[in-house]
Amino acid sequence: MIFTVAIDGPAAAGKGTISRAVAEAFGFAHLDTGALYRAVGAKGGDPVQAAQTLSPEDLARDDLRTLEAGQAASRVAALPDVRAALVDFQRRFARREGGAVLDGRDIGTVICPDAEVKLFVTASAEVRAKRRWAELGGDYDQVLREVIERDMRDAGRASAPMRAADEAVVIDTSDLSIAEAIAAACAEVRRALPQG
């Protein structure tokens, strides 16, 4: 069975946690597409060449979840040639046999516009900054500024800006527990799965 779940949304909204849980619940493969961009940003040097030569070792780096890697990812993701280098990989992954869950910023709008399920996971900037601050520490006000700046950059870029696909179901996790957010996402997937 080929079945794609596209999960988009801003940083620290919970889409990674939800995506991994959905993939596990339904036995689908999971791809955190942000990790591709984080790895490109973390490699340094020419970002296009870094995207074209991305290796499994690059994706296994232990510094990909840092705030710095996230900011670097947002910068390189705005480059059309970097995006183009990574699109084919993502599309092949999405249509693999056995089902796939991809999370990122433009999965439902650009990478997999024909995905069987499209979700847009969001939360207020303040809630997302608190989550990121609890995870990474530092100065909360600085983290909030960086979250807002990243949102503006991701939503304002010329190539594949972050936005909810027209038919996406929006899940606002601001006031939801992790279990409630996962349950909401799983309900949407279950509704779309072929019966029988």
138 marked as part of a ligand binding site? no
181 marked as part of a ligand binding site? no
pLDDT at 196: 58
104 marked as part of a ligand binding site? no
Which residues, other chains included, contact 147 with Cβ-Cβ below 8 Å and sequence gap of 6+? 10, 11, 12, 125, 128, 129, 132
Q: Please, is 169 exposed, middle or buried when counting C-beta atoms within 10 Å of its C-beta (0-12, 13-18, 19+)?
A: middle
16 marked as part of a ligand binding site? yes
pLDDT at 161: 84
Angle at alpha carbon of residue 26, lines to 20 and 31, rounded to 5°: 35
CATH of domain 4-192: 3.40.50.300
70 marked as part of a ligand binding site? no
Amino acid letter, 195 = Q
pLDDT at 175: 97
80 marked as part of a ligand binding site? no
11 marked as part of a ligand binding site? yes
What is the chain's pLDDT, residue by residue, as a tens digit (196 residues)?
A: 999 999 999 989 999 999 999 999 999 999 988 899 999 999 989 999 999 998 888 988 999 988 888 889 888 988 999 989 999 889 989 999 999 999 998 899 999 999 999 999 999 999 999 999 998 888 999 999 999 998 998 888 887 888 999 999 999 999 999 999 999 999 999 999 988 5
Q: For the chain, how big is the Rg over CA atoms in Å?
A: 16
168 marked as part of a ligand binding site? no
14 marked as part of a ligand binding site? yes
Domain assignments of the chain as residue spans, ordered by start:
4-192
DSSP E strand stretches across 48-106: 100-104
